């Protein structure tokens, strides 16, 4: 009887233990957060965070180029006004006929280029500059204090330098411009400025003035062809 009673109690204890274990397993199904040694799965609403690449989208690039077009138009108008005033100064102060003729050509050509650029500036919302830049004003003040060969030398060297810089800017804008009107104006302006650069380099040579480098597409145009 004792052995039989003891066996019954052992069986009851074993059954109770199994029941408790089964309940514990039911509370923590495989892969759940509460089961030891298991990682929590990603929540359905959570998205993996990827680091920013730092690249700009098409809209940002388009906005930047639109601003570049506006800056080009503003600078072209500003530079054109300076070329006109410097050309007038060359006609007044130079004692060399070729320099005077070049100055007259600057007045005529840059006046025409500026008139073509003004409607584009209005379209882009660019205000017309009130006058030359600070740098050009300083050049004018310097040239006004010179006369004779000294004026010619300073004017010629300034024109070579300015036209080299302008030609590079106009060519770059002709390739990169977003606005088709700006692109066309830049292409046309580059052609005119290229001719001016060739002429002023030949004038510099005739006055025995050294210039850095040579202009692209140098033609056989002579200073007398400016008439």
Segment 94-122, tens digit of pLDDT: 999 999 999 999 999 999 999 999 999 99
- 207-221: per-residue pLDDT in tens? 999 876 554 444 443
Please return the burial class of 182, using the count of CB atoms within 10 Å of its CB with bins 0-12, 13-18 and 19+.
buried
Handedness of CA 66, 131, 134, 95 (dihedral sign): positive
Enter the pTM of the model: 0.68
Residue 221: predicted pLDDT: 39
Between the alpha carbon of residue 72 and those of residues 23, 64, 124, 144, the distances in Å are: 79, 12, 11, 28
Which of 57-65's residues contact partners 24+ apart within 8 Å by CB, and which partners?
62/178, 65/176, 65/177, 65/178
Where along the chain do its domains lie? 66-226
CATH for 66-226, among 3.40.50.2300, 1.10.132.50, 1.20.1250.20, 1.20.1260.10?
1.20.1260.10
Tokens, residue 137: 């004003």
């Amino acid at each position: 009887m004792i052995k039989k009673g003891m066996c019954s109690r052992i069986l009851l204890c074993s059954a109770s233990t199994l029941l408790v274990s089964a309940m514990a397993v039911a509370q923590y199904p495989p892969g759940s957060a509460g089961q030891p040694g298991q990682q929590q799965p990603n929540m359905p609403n959570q998205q993996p965070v990827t680091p920013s690449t730092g690249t700009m989208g098409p809209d940002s690039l388009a906005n930047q180029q639109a601003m570049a077009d506006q800056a080009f138009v503003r600078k072209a108008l500003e530079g054109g006004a300076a070329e006109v005033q410097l050309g007038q100064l060359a006609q007044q102060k130079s004692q060399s006929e070729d320099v005077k003729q070049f100055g007259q050509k600057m007045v005529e050509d840059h006046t025409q280029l500026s008139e073509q650029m003004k409607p584009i500036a209005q379209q882009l919302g660019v205000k017309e500059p009130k006058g030359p830049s600070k740098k050009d004003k300083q050049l004018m003040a310097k040239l006004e204090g010179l006369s004779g060969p000294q004026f010619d030398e300073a004017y010629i060297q300034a024109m070579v330098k300015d036209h080299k810089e302008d030609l590079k800017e106009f060519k770059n804008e002709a390739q990169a411009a977003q606005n088709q009107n700006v692109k066309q104006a830049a292409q046309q302006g580059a052609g005119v400025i290229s001719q001016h650069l060739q002429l002023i380099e030949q004038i510099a040579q005739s006055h025995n003035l050294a210039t850095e480098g040579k202009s692209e597409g140098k033609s056989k145009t002579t200073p007398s062809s400016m008439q």
